[in-house]
Each structure stands twice: as C-alpha cells, then as structure tokens.
Structure 1
C-alpha cells in the first residue's frame, strides 16, 4: 500500500500537465465548441489532479 501512496501524487501531476497541454494545443486551432469543451474538461481534470497531488496520507 505504501508504494501506491507514493505514486498517487505523481499521477496527479501527470494529470495536471496533460490537461494544461491539451488546453494549450486547442487554444489556437479547432472550432470554438471544441475549445470550450476542452477547457471545461481541463478545469475538472486539474481539480482531480490537485486533489491527488496534495492529498494528506498522514492519518
């Protein structure tokens, strides 16, 4: 279980970076509805990644 707890923050950071990369990729290309969809999904994924990254395992 300890190994899994150590990987969780890493997965959170990877999620955040992937979401930011996706939003950067669509910021100049594609129709507006795709941009809005990606931006909304990016916000959700960043929140999930933040929770995974900063979760407290001390209890």
Structure 2
C-alpha cells in the first residue's frame, strides 16, 4: 500500500466533518444571535451531509 492510500482515511474524515458540524452548531446555539445561527446551521447541515456521504460511500 502506497503512502496516503490507507482505505480508512476517507471514512475517518467523514466522521471528523460530522463531529465538527455538531460542535460548531452547539457553540453557535449557545453564544450567537439568531441572525448568525441560521446560516451556520445551514452550513453545518451541509458539512454533516458531506461527512455522511464520505463515511458511508463504500457500503454498497
């Protein structure tokens, strides 16, 4: 296996994206005003969606 071709790297990055999106949404929920919460929630949702696809793309 060549360097950088580890098969578990992409699912790991997907999980990191999901956890990061959840953490950012939680921090914004606690600290930010509503006008800032909505765009951050949308960005967090899209980030988590990309992470979900990266995590489960090889389950076919």
Q: Given the two structures, how large is their TM-score scaled by the length of structure 1? A: 0.85
Task: Give the total of aligned pairs.
Answer: 57
Q: Does 2:20 correspond to 1:18?
A: yes
Distance 1:57 1:24 in 2: 29
Q: In proportion to residue count, which structure has more helix?
A: 1
Deviation at 1:40, TM superposition (A): 0.3
Task: String of CA shifts for 1:20-45, please: whole Å, max 9, x gaps.
Answer: 00000011211111111110001100
Deviation at 1:57, TM superposition (A): 6.9
SS state of the match for residue 56, structure 1?
Answer: coil
Q: Structure 1 unaligned segments of length 5 or more: list them.
A: none
Structure 1 stretches of 4+ with a deviation exceeding 6 A read none
Distance 2:59 2:29 in 1: 36
